[in-house]
Structures are given as C-alpha cells and as structure tokens.
Amino acid sequence: MPHNEIEHSMNLLRKNWRVDPIISDFMLGKINKVDDYVIKINKVIFHIPFLTQFKKFVLWKCFWPDCNNCCDRQGRLPLTSDDIILIGKKNKYPQTSDFLNNETLVTTWNELSPHGQNIMMATVNLKRKSHETDSDDGKHMKCRFLDQKGYCMLHPNRPSVCYLYPFSVWLENKKNSINVHSTFQFTGDCPGFYTSRKINPIKNILHQYSTIIYNYCMDSNRTSRQNFSSMVFN
C-alpha cells in the first residue's frame, strides 16, 4: 500500500486515537532496521516485526467495541465460496445466483506478495454499499452492514475476511506440503498496534487467530478451485 495512503489513513486515525510515533514511523517505512521474528503456532507461521533499534516487537490488540474503524473504512470484501452460500441464505436468497447478481461484484486488482511479486487477483466481493460499482473497488467506505452501535448486522455470518483483519495470509508450497504464513496488514486504519519488549502479550491472540487463519486459507483455496476466485503471478 502506498505510503501516502497510509499517512492519510493515520491522519484520520489520529483524530480519535493516539498513535505511537514509533508505530507511525514504522508504517511509513521510516524505520528500516526491522527483523522478521518467526513463531509457529499450531499450523500457522506468524511473522512479527521486531524493531532492532528499539529492541521492541510490533504487537496488536483489538479495541472493539470502542473502535470499528476497519468497518468504517472498508476497502474490499472478497468472499469465499462458503461465504457466498451462507451469507446468501442468511440474507433470504434461496438461489445463490440471485445473491450473486444483486449483492456482489466481481473485481480484479493487483497486489504485491510479501516477496515483492505482482499478483493479479480476481474475486467475488460483497457490496459495501447497495449501489457499489467497479469504480468503488479498493476505495475506503463505511460498510452498509455496520449499525449505529458499531455492531455488524451480518454477525456471526459476516465474510470470513472480516474475521481475519488485521492479519494477512499467504501460502507456501514446500516439498509438496502447504505452509500457511501470516503477518499484519499495516494500512494505517487500526489503532490497535503498539510496541512491546516481550512477545508474550500477543501469544493468546496468535493462538486464537491460528485457527481462524488456517481455516480461512483452506476456504480460500477451495474458493479458487471452485473458480470463484483466481490469482495470477506476473
């Protein structure tokens, strides 16, 4: 994500939250002595930034219900095939095709992999506003399912990707087995990042997310096999 977009998001965030200057500099790429601390929890290999100059980890916790920024500034809601069936049924669409026609958009976009490779993605996305069009893809907007009190009206059947934030995931094919990797997305929209000399404060969270992340990866893989999404490396 370009630094000017992250800076814009952080300027908005600062209106309601204190942002640690170290976190701010890190997200804007101004701290370059960063080690990749790798910790495997259950079936997921987590990559946690360690700022060597400050001898501190970058960790995260969620402030919901005091914060709902990730729903207030949503960029895109790609659906897995399980999401398509479940959310369609819960939204009173007996026919999945009607749900797809009325409530979703197919979009393509480019993304950089953690190794700097360009990936062209194509996904079925849940519309974040009723009249969302292709040109809205990737733009931050308030999700139509966020209610006045900060609750998701689809919960617990919200898109799997909503359970994932602020983690991002990727798969690695190694010796004919698949490794699941995860790290944080630093978009500047989440006030939950902080620094800590110890890794321990996040361990319970990583345990909890390891299941969510692993299941998400398997669902995404199935979605791709069922041709509801595709990923092309350029």
Residue ranges in contact with ligand SF4 by CB under 6 A: 62-64, 67-71, 74, 143, 145-146, 152, 154, 158-159, 162, 165-166, 189-192
- Given the complex with ligand SF4, which of 40 and 90 has the nearer CB atom? 90
Least distance CB 186 / ligand SF4 (angstroms) = 11
- Given the complex with ligand SF4, which of 91 and 224 has the nearer CB atom? 91
Q: Compute the distance between CA of residue 139 and CA of residue 65 in angstroms, rounded to an integer.
A: 24
Q: Compute the distance between CA of residue 182 and CA of residue 185 in angstroms, rounded to an integer.
A: 9
**Alpha helices (H) along the chain:** 3-13, 21-27, 69-72, 81-90, 96-103, 160-164, 203-225
Least distance CB 181 / ligand SF4 (angstroms) = 20
- Given the complex with ligand SF4, which of 205 and 218 has the nearer CB atom? 205
- Given the complex with ligand SF4, which of 179 and 195 has the nearer CB atom? 195
Give the DSSP per-residue string, 55-90: TEEEEE---TTT--HHHHTB---B--HHHHHHHHHH
Nearest to 196 by CA among 77, 20, 64, 73: 20
Least distance CB 206 / ligand SF4 (angstroms) = 15
Least distance CB 61 / ligand SF4 (angstroms) = 8
